[in-house]
Structure 1
């Protein structure tokens, strides 16, 4: 397939080789390419074209899966686009010895694109803490963006001592961002209207206010997974309060898939107690362990979880089935 008239292309691809084929000259007038790639790897790479891409003016690269070939594949690939005016990157980088920061972006990308006018990015890079003498702080990372004109780059760093790893998030401009990797308590907020799928993880508790920030920052979120085994410190539950303490009931109006396999009971309560979170009607599939669901719903008799449970349309109980006496508690499942 080829074309001498195609100027702009928006496409989803299975692998990185497909992207290289698109840019091997068969679309010689192409100046704008938006590509979302399922998986980026050097395995089975069958196109190793190294020629410059002088006609390309706008390039956007999205990949939901973590990549281990950022320096090996992505950086040399981008350096072929010397006449780019707009670049957008949405990547999760693993397997490197240092974080992707402002210095790295300037040295390896920006300095190779003299005409670049707009650079939009969200890059989350992870490194192992093993054998690390010094790990950059949030302040260190932010300082590397001191030459980025007047743009407000957001950055923060998460440290996970148990897993012996650290994550660095850097981003600029949020309107088109599709993928956000591992939201923690350090998440600074912001509006991400195009993100539909997020995962929450931390080794410190998530309080009720955190879930409110998530709803405000990801208003169109459809898929949410949560991993946190730490109990909440400030549990808010109206059924156990006599002072009618005021707190916000959180709405997730577009949520369709919720995974709670690795969640403490407090977070199952957070999503099922109707005075905490309001779920959409007959729309949500939940992945959860049967014993936890039974425990949090008080053997499927608890009134404060009845309304949200009645809104669920399917359950995956890790091989278990609901008992017959619980069917009325989940009328749409």
Structure 2
């Protein structure tokens, strides 16, 4: 029937299976090649850490591979789309389907179906696996590939502004009132910016306001005298846990609920949340980009193979697909700088190229 979106059940299964197998093949090829190149560049730093060997190299591969899969899955869908449609075109199967009364959208319907399933799977994969792997890998890299920290949300080497003074922590764990700092140093500065006093402690906890240093050691720069307190003392009264959240917030390493809490904390501290909100929306639009790839690569499906323009059509389809990724990254960067609103930064490239793809398809084939 003309109003049916999918072709026959047999045709749908045939095209969908062909497309899915090519997506998997292209993804495996890309991930294997990129993983080998990445491992070659990082293996020297991994093995430089004392006690590291083959086990740590395999650990790195296990943490890095999910990132590569999530990042290059949309590219794989684009390349698999072009390969699938070129194959169907060269075998005159597209001509047969068109002669049977199928529209261009019906020919592409099985590809949209598979791409939709891939988008949902990619979203779940990002939330359940990629965020955890990213958090663990960044925490491991922060200690120069030493022993992997038990808490993957540890923030290392954090500098915080306390008015004219500076607060430094070797590492920070916990959230809100339970935030704790280790190997903490507070630098008191005069109006000219010169350091006049340095206070160090092994740990510090939030005192609301300020941070309570345990057994702090004070060094007076002018007199060169060092004193150690028997108890505790409060310093950096203008530094709040919200500032720590701002420094720790990492959209790539946080799930949607965790990122939502980070955005609320940053907003409560009266800081800009444009970058984090753009990343929040992009967690939806990013995986959904796989659905666009069959539409952008559809130009390779139509036209006579013997006309000699099949290669050029494939190049055009690939150019449209890669142009989307360029515009998407540019819009996300503009959202991070506040040039675009978060919703526009995340969704405008998707809507723009959806309209472009539909226009090209309708004007040339429908």
TM-score norm. by structure 2 comes to 0.19
TM-score norm. by structure 1 comes to 0.20
Larger relative CO (CA 8 A, sep 6+): 1 or 2?
Answer: 2
Per residue, is there more strand in 1 or in 2?
1
